[in-house]
């Protein structure tokens, strides 16, 4: 058990599977999944948004996305915190790319039309972990809310 924990902390666990997906893909997917699960419900619309965001960001096929989501879900459940995922994103993404991830977080949160207190707390935590300015994070939140209102009004 101790060896497994050490391998996981050192990033050596599941090396073959991880070689199929870059660490940045896993980290991004795991953060989006964490947000999607934060209110205790994982809705089909949240799953679709996560899949769409991953397809757009990483240009993956639907089969590859499904495998990435499955793998990231397992990785997320085994993790102790979100820092490890945020650390990978901070190391590989520009400020604009991190803001795009945060925008994706807001899209997942508002997929069901409700901002749950746990989702809100998690979004604030992620913004801090990703070293983003509060104003920029709120700008992305407002952008998503405005788009949600416009698309909701036309339905």
Residue 90 burial (10 A CB sphere; 0-12, 13-18, 19+): middle
pLDDT at 154: 46
**Could you give the percent of the chain with pLDDT greater than 70?**
84
CA distance 64 to 147: 28
Reported as a single tens digit per residue, the pLDDT across 5-38 is: 445 555 555 554 455 468 899 999 999 999 999 9
pLDDT at 41: 83
Does the pTM surpass 0.85? The reply is no
Instruction: Give the three-state DSSP class for 80.
Output: coil
Residue 108 near residue 46, CB atoms below 8 Å:
yes
Q: Which residues are CB-contacts of 3 (< 8 A; sequence separation ≥ 6)?
A: none
CA distance 55 to 128: 26
pLDDT at 15: 54
Q: Which helix (H) or strand (E) holds 54?
A: helix 44-58
CA distance 17 to 107: 28
For the chain, domains (ranges, CATH) are 2-153 (1.10.3680.10)
Residue 64 burial (10 A CB sphere; 0-12, 13-18, 19+): middle
Residue 116 near residue 38, CB atoms below 8 Å:
yes
Buried b / exposed e over 114-147, threshold 16 CB at 10 Å, is eeeeebeebbebbbebbebeeeebeebbeebeee
């Amino acid at each position: 058990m101790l060896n497994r924990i050490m391998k996981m902390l050192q990033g050596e666990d599941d090396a073959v599977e991880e070689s199929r997906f870059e660490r940045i893909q896993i980290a991004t997917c795991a953060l989006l999944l964490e947000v999607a699960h934060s209110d205790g419900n994982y809705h089909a619309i949240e799953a679709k948004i996560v899949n769409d965001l991953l397809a757009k960001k990483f240009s993956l096929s639907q089969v590859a996305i499904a495998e990435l989501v499955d793998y990231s879900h397992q990785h997320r459940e085994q993790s102790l915190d979100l820092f490890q995922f945020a650390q990978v994103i901070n190391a590989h993404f520009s400020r604009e790319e991190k803001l795009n991830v945060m925008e994706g977080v807001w899209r997942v949160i508002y997929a069901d039309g409700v901002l749950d207190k746990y989702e809100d707390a998690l979004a604030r935590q992620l913004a801090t972990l990703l070293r983003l300015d509060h104003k920029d994070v709120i700008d992305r939140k407002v952008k998503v809310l405005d788009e949600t209102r416009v698309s909701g009004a036309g339905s």
